[in-house]
Chains A and B, each alone.
Chain A
Amino acid sequence: MSVATLSIHRGGPGEAPRRDRFEVPFEAGQSVLDGLRWVRECADPSLAMRYACLNANACKECMMLVDGRVGYACTIRLEAREMRLDPLPNKALLRDLVTAIAPPDERPPEPGA
């Protein structure tokens, strides 16, 4: 069985960034989002990622860096090779693949503010 290897940025702001590698069973026609959901269900539920709709490209929440290029995890195909996944570089990091992308006036209050 062929596998897709996802090399994923882990950690939050102020932490030394590290990478975890997950081997995902590869099936033709999957999206990168499918691979990430497999990681949470079968390997590590603590992985932080953002999505609301499922592969419909309607919510536009799953934007991240895939092999260094900005894209939606739900519209980029998973491939049977190593793929590097990183959070958006120009947004404040929350944790793992999640950044603060909500408009400033639509966010919860900053703790301690």
Chain B
Amino acid sequence: MAVEAPLLRTDVLVIGAGGAGLYAAIEAARRGARVLLLDRSLIGRGGATVMAQMTVAAALGSETEDDWSHHLADTLAAGRGLCDPRLARLLCEEGAEVIREMDEWRTGWARHPDGRIRQVQAPGHDRPRCVYVDFLSTGPAVSRALRARAQREGGIRRMGEVLVTDLVTSGGRVRGAVALDLAHGVPLRMSAGATVIATGGLTRLYRRNSASSNMAGDGYALALRAGAELVDMEFVQFFPIGHLAPRMIGMDPIMWDPFRYKLGGRLLNGAMEEFTDRYGAPDGGRYVVTRDLATYAITREVAAGRGSPSGGAWLSFQHVPEAVLRENFGPVIDRLAANGIDLTRTPVEVAPIAHYHMGGIRVDARMDTGLPGLFAAGEAVGGANGANRLSGNAITEALAFGRVAGREAAALARRDGEGWDEAAAAEALALAGGTGPARPGMNTAALFRRLQDIMADDVGAFRTAEGLARAGQRLQALSAELGEAPPGPPLPHDLARADWFDLRAGLQVAEAVVLAAAARTESRGAHQREDHPGLDPAWGHNQTLALRDGQLRLGRQPVAEAA
């Protein structure tokens, strides 16, 4: 190319500026590392953290006596036997510390008049354990506090609109990355002593999802291609009561979560009957049924022809007086009214929506992937939540794992230093910044939609061998259409080019989910097989995935021993 791509040098490279990436950057910087913090969106705006509506679990004990060991017991129970107990313990133990530190950083956790932090009880927890900011404002408050802290910390170069396309490895070690500067449409080179993947999950691979547009599994694909392993990829969490109808604007689809925490609400089938008790999980107008069971119950009712008109369940607050609704959700009630929704008169329709990925990059308790120079943090990590994640654990995981990854990455970078290898970056640079063949008629956005359809049709909350095989074939056909390089020359803010890289990553990650889901011939947590109902004790181990000679290879490992 005419102009050489800029080479940015840093001790620690952090990919993704959600909760995990921001915390990793802050922790690495306060240990003296120079940090380069990237996000493909704007800093602190993209990712899942900013979308969090409500609860963050931490054993602070401000409502009632609590200890991280109780939080751990609930987390392990929710994970249906597959949690890595070392990671789960880290989440629960360091989680309480990071939530306190976030309080010092003025996140603004809701408080009682006497100054104690408020904690509510979420489904699957044995006591009130979840802190929050305001209803519907937790995520933005967490993002804002972290971004402000990162700005004050010093030593952190923050850079948005940068899409990392490949990690650069040489001598068996990750040396940094190659990226596409989306703002200008030019490639970038980044040399780093240690790299942290904090890109979140994969829920954008599904048609109905609660994620940002940048959560399509790209971090998993980066890790795989560099030589790291993934774990538990078959476990995709569906949030059971994502908004379905009537259509709304300016509201997050998981907005009913706080309504249920505060007011209960009744979950009803198409005949206006309560139904979760038929699946062994009585709800009784309270919010107690775990996500995997509620998703199962709603999906079964719809399959049995007892769904709501749009294909979900009814959520009703009609029994709640308007004054109580107003007292709890004041301005939100007006926003609902602007969308034509009066909760005192009509129920709304809800249905499961792809929400979180339990699987991810395999790491040890130091967030080390085992591939020298590469760490991961947050939702990008697999293992802490096993087959099903407890409500409130995602933000805690992001912050706790981010802190550990930042600490470990800073230490490694100090020990080893940089070692950029230009030759090892050449191929990735040519792909990121080069002009690909013109592909008239190719619509990358439509191709991505097809990927979402494949995953929603056959790799959703309910799976069969036949459906998974069909998904595998359709994914292969889509891969063949994608071609070897992005179409045309790079342009400023080139979404079609970004789509191409998202498809390359998403197709590989989708294949990983399909392979793991097809192999697991039982039903457990978020992985439900219509053709293999019920949990099989013989399946009490984790599945891993690695890329060897361009092929995904499935492996098994026993569940780790407790720390």
Which residues of A does B touch, CB under 8 Å?
A: 12, 27-31, 37, 40-42, 45-61, 72, 74-77, 94-96, 98, 100-102, 105-112
Residue in B closest to A41 when the chains form the complex, CB atoms: B445
Interface contact B492-A60, CB-CB below 8 Å: no
Interface contact A108-B212, CB-CB below 8 Å: no
User: Which B residues are in CB contact (< 8 Å) with A77?
Assistant: 249
Interface string of B480-503 (1 = CB under 8 A from A): 000000000001111110010000
* A68 CB, min distance to chain B CBs, angstroms: 20
Interface contact A52-B46, CB-CB below 8 Å: yes
Interface string of B239-257 (1 = CB under 8 A from A): 0000000111111110000
Closest A-B pairs by Cβ, 10 of them: A29-B247, A56-B252, A75-B250, A52-B46, A108-B181, A40-B445, A31-B249, A52-B41, A48-B493, A98-B493
User: Which A residues are in CB contact (< 8 Å) with B445?
Assistant: 37, 40-41, 45
| A/B interface sample: 22 pairs, CB < 8 A | A29-B249, A31-B250, A41-B445, A42-B446, A45-B444, A45-B496, A48-B493, A52-B46, A52-B47, A55-B252, A57-B250, A58-B50, A58-B51, A74-B249, A77-B249, A95-B493, A102-B160, A107-B161, A108-B160, A108-B181, A109-B8, A111-B186
User: Which B residues are in CB contact (< 8 Å) with A96?
Assistant: 493
B339 at the interface (CB under 8 A from A): yes
User: Which B residues are in CB contact (< 8 Å) with A59?
Assistant: 41-42, 45-46, 50, 212
Contact among B162, B246, B492 with A95 in the assembled complex (CB-CB below 8 Å): B492
User: Which B residues are in CB contact (< 8 Å) with A110?
Assistant: 184
Interface contact B213-A45, CB-CB below 8 Å: no
Q: Which applies to chain A's interface (DSSP): helix, strand, loop or mixed?
A: loop
Q: A45-B444, A48-B493 are in contact. Are A106 and B3 (CB under 8 A)?
A: no
Interface contact B247-A49, CB-CB below 8 Å: no
Interface contact A12-B492, CB-CB below 8 Å: yes
Q: A40-B445, A40-B495, A58-B139 are in contact. Are A106 and B249 (CB under 8 A)?
A: no
- Residues facing A in B213-256 (CB within 8 A) are 213-214, 246-253
B362 at the interface (CB under 8 A from A): no
Interface contact B212-A47, CB-CB below 8 Å: no
Contact among A27, A48, A61, A75 with B492 in the assembled complex (CB-CB below 8 Å): A48
Residue in B closest to A78 when the chains form the complex, CB atoms: B249
Give the number of chain B interface residues (Cβ < 8 Å): 50
* B549 CB, min distance to chain A CBs, angstroms: 33
Interface contact A50-B493, CB-CB below 8 Å: yes
Interface string of B331-367 (1 = CB under 8 A from A): 0000000010000000000000000000000000000
Interface contact B493-A56, CB-CB below 8 Å: no
Contact among A29, A51, A52 with B248 in the assembled complex (CB-CB below 8 Å): A29
Residue in A closest to B213 when the chains form the complex, CB atoms: A52
User: Which B residues are in CB contact (< 8 Å) with A53?
Assistant: 46, 50-51, 212-213, 252
**How far is A98 from B186 in the complex, measured between Cα atoms in Å?**
16
- Residues facing A in B140-186 (CB within 8 A) are 140, 158-162, 181, 183-184, 186
Residue in A closest to B339 when the chains form the complex, CB atoms: A29
**How far is A54 from B211 in the complex, measured between Cα atoms in Å?**
7
Interface string of B28-43 (1 = CB under 8 A from A): 0000000000000111
Residue in B closest to A13 when the chains form the complex, CB atoms: B492
Q: A50-B493, A58-B139 are in contact. Are A108 and B183 (CB under 8 A)?
A: yes
Interface contact A52-B339, CB-CB below 8 Å: no
**How far is A95 from B495 in the complex, measured between Cα atoms in Å?**
11
Q: A45-B496, A106-B42, A112-B3 are in contact. Are A55 and B249 (CB under 8 A)?
A: yes
B70 at the interface (CB under 8 A from A): no
Interface contact A108-B493, CB-CB below 8 Å: no
Interface contact A106-B139, CB-CB below 8 Å: no
**How far is A98 from B491 in the complex, measured between Cα atoms in Å?**
12
Interface contact B250-A55, CB-CB below 8 Å: yes
User: Which A residues are in CB contact (< 8 Å) with B115?
Assistant: none
Interface contact B213-A54, CB-CB below 8 Å: yes
Interface contact B495-A49, CB-CB below 8 Å: yes
B443 at the interface (CB under 8 A from A): yes
Beyond contacts A56-B252, A106-B158, A106-B159: 19 other A-B pairs, Cβ-Cβ < 8 A, are: A12-B492, A29-B248, A41-B443, A46-B491, A46-B495, A46-B496, A49-B495, A53-B51, A54-B211, A58-B139, A61-B46, A75-B249, A96-B493, A102-B42, A102-B183, A106-B42, A108-B160, A108-B161, A108-B184
Contact among B158, B184, B214, B251 with A52 in the assembled complex (CB-CB below 8 Å): B214
B6 at the interface (CB under 8 A from A): yes
User: Which A residues are in CB contact (< 8 Å) with B446?
Assistant: 41-42, 45
B512 at the interface (CB under 8 A from A): no
* A7 CB, min distance to chain B CBs, angstroms: 20
* A38 CB, min distance to chain B CBs, angstroms: 10
From A37, A53, A55, A61, name the one whose CB has the most chain B CB atoms within 10 angstroms.
A53
B410 at the interface (CB under 8 A from A): no
User: Which B residues are in CB contact (< 8 Å) with A56?
Assistant: 51, 250-253
**How far is A60 from B493 in the complex, measured between Cα atoms in Å?**
17
Interface contact B213-A106, CB-CB below 8 Å: no
Interface string of B430-447 (1 = CB under 8 A from A): 000000000000111110
**How far is A51 from B42 in the complex, measured between Cα atoms in Å?**
10
* A103 CB, min distance to chain B CBs, angstroms: 8
